[in-house]
């Protein structure tokens, strides 16, 4: 079995608001294996983006890591590393393409300058190397390097910009890429093109990917393993084939039924009653119980333990816990 590249242990991230603390990520355990594509799926407010930002310690000032560890390659604890250590990890070891990054390109800079600037900021001054590497990556992403490098961001389409961002993220040869909703703002055909490119890129470079999205169909299409998040917690983790075929957590089951998709009967699709809990004062016990069709007394009192149903298939639910 491949080793774990990244291990998140008991991670707790809080955002300060005037009413108290938003428990955005609460006691999360999650591992990313070397060379895999891990899909993280969740609705808005599930904590998936916060998790991504916490890994690289790019959280906004109002947030803090209150507890837990983020081990990279089993040695460095990113949750407690000093800034200079983090600088060596960001972009060189782990790169992040944040959500809505299409607007992150500087409109006054040519694409080539984005590559040069990024390299310079990380202490790489070899102009020739940067342009060669950028050209190689852009062609791998099926863009014409000469033309694209000379362009300004406004001269590129959304799909092209997204590919430029992927190339930028891979510039310094990172081991891992975190992509937060990379295809959300794109049209159907562009989304398909980017998904296929990412699969191709993964096959060619074996780069580890953490792919974050609200769209469960995208996870089914691209990921090896998946984690389902809800209200700051990981509810279920497993191989995508297993989780889609036999989802065990009531939330995963409900989420899959709530997607108006092209397959399956429309009669069986339904929304999940109720709304996301208030994360300043989350319900005691399991965070899904107020919306769960199987809620029992214990769910309202005690947090469910995480149990391994089959090797690698983890569920946090009292229905599956041995009491």
Partner 1 sequence: MSSEPPLMEVRNLRVYYPVRKGIFGGVAYVKAVDGVDLVLNKGDIFTLVGESGCGKTTLGKTIVGLVRPTGGEILYKGKNILKLSKREYLEYRRNVQIIHQDPFSSLNPTKTVFQTLSFPLKRWGIARSRRDLIEKVSELLSLVGLEPPEDFLFKYPHQLSGGQRQRVVVARAISVNPELIMADEPITMIDVSLRIGILDLLLDLQKRFNTAYLFITHDFGAARYFAAKGGGLIAVMYLGKIVEVGPAEDVIHDPLHPYTKVLMSAVPVPDPELSRKKKLLKLKSLDIPSPMNPPPGCRFNTRCPFSKPKCEKEEPPLVEVRKKHWAACWLYTS
Burial of 270 (0-12, 13-18, 19+ CB in 10 A): exposed
Q: At closest approach, how far in Å is the CB of 40 from partner 1?
A: 14
Measured from the CB atom, is 117 or 221 closer to partner 1?
221
Measured from the CB atom, is 108 or 275 closer to partner 1?
275
Measured from the CB atom, is 266 or 322 closer to partner 1?
266
β-pairing, 225-230 vs 37-41, is parallel
Q: At closest approach, how far in Å is the CB of 240 from partner 1?
A: 5
In the structure encoding, which two tokens stand for residue 73, read together?
């390659």
Measured from the CB atom, is 239 or 302 closer to partner 1?
239
Measured from the CB atom, is 1 or 262 closer to partner 1?
262
Decide: 114 and 106 in contact? Cβ < 8 Å.
yes
Rounded Cα gap, residues 77 and 27, in angstroms: 16
Rounded Cα gap, residues 288 and 299, in angstroms: 9
Burial of 189 (0-12, 13-18, 19+ CB in 10 A): exposed
Q: At closest approach, how far in Å is the CB of 18 from partner 1?
A: 13
Q: At closest approach, how far in Å is the CB of 222 from partner 1?
A: 8
Give me the residues that bind partner 1 (CB under 8 A), please: 43-45, 159, 187-193, 195-196, 214-218, 220-222, 240-241, 244, 254-256, 258-263, 266-267, 269-273, 275-276
Measured from the CB atom, is 260 or 311 closer to partner 1?
260
Q: At closest approach, how far in Å is the CB of 254 from partner 1?
A: 7
Distances (CA, A) of 123 to 130, 170, 172, 199, 218: 12, 16, 10, 30, 36
Decide: 80 and 124 in contact? Cβ < 8 Å.
no
Decide: 72 and 3 in contact? Cβ < 8 Å.
no
Measured from the CB atom, is 27 or 258 closer to partner 1?
258
Q: At closest approach, how far in Å is the CB of 296 from partner 1?
A: 21
Which of 230, 247, 207, 221 minimizes the C-alpha distance to 41? Answer: 230
Q: At closest approach, how far in Å is the CB of 105 from partner 1?
A: 19
Question: What b-and-e string marks burial along 88-114, b requiring 16 or more CB atoms within 10 Å of the CB?
Answer: ebbbbbbbbbbbebbeebeeeebbbeb
Q: At closest approach, how far in Å is the CB of 243 from partner 1?
A: 9
Which DSSP symbol is given to 92?
T
Backbone phi and psi for residue 94, each to the nearest 5 degrees, phi listed first = -130, 130
Measured from the CB atom, is 46 or 95 closer to partner 1?
46
């Amino acid at each position: 079995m491949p080793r774990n590249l990244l291990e998140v242990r008991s991670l707790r991230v809080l955002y300060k608001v005037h009413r108290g603390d938003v428990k955005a990520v609460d006691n999360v355990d999650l591992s990313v294996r070397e060379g895999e594509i891990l899909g993280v799926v969740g609705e808005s407010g599930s904590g998936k983006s916060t998790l991504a930002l916490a890994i690289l310690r790019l959280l906004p000032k109002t947030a803090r890591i209150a507890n837990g560890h983020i081990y990279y390659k089993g040695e460095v604890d990113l949750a407690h590393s000093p800034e200079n250590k983090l600088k060596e990890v960001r972009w060189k070891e782990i790169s992040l393409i944040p959500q809505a990054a299409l607007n992150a390109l500087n409109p006054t800079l040519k694409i080539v300058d984005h590559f040069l600037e990024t390299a310079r900021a990380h202490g790489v001054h070899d102009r020739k190397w940067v342009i060669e590497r950028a050209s190689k990556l852009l062609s791998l992403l099926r863009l014409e390097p000469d033309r694209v490098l000379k362009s300004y961001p406004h001269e590129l389409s959304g799909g092209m910009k997204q590919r430029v961002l992927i190339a930028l993220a891979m510039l310094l040869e990172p081991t891992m890429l975190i992509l937060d909703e990379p295809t959300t703002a794109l049209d159907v055909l562009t989304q398909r093109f980017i998904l296929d490119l990412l699969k191709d890129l993964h096959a060619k470079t074996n780069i580890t990917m953490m792919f974050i999205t609200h769209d469960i169909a995208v996870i089914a299409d691209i990921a090896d393993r998946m984690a389902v998040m809800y209200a700051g917690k990981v509810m279920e983790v497993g191989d995508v084939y297993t989780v889609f075929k036999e989802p065990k957590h009531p939330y995963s089951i409900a989420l899959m039924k709530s997607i108006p998709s092209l397959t399956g009967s429309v009669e069986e699709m339904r929304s999940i009653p109720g709304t996301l809990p208030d994360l300043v004062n989350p319900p005691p016990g399991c965070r899904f119980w107020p919306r769960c069709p199987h809620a029992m007394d214990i769910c309202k009192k005690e947090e469910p333990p995480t149990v391994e149903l089959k090797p690698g298939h983890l569920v946090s639910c009292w229905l599956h816990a041995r009491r």
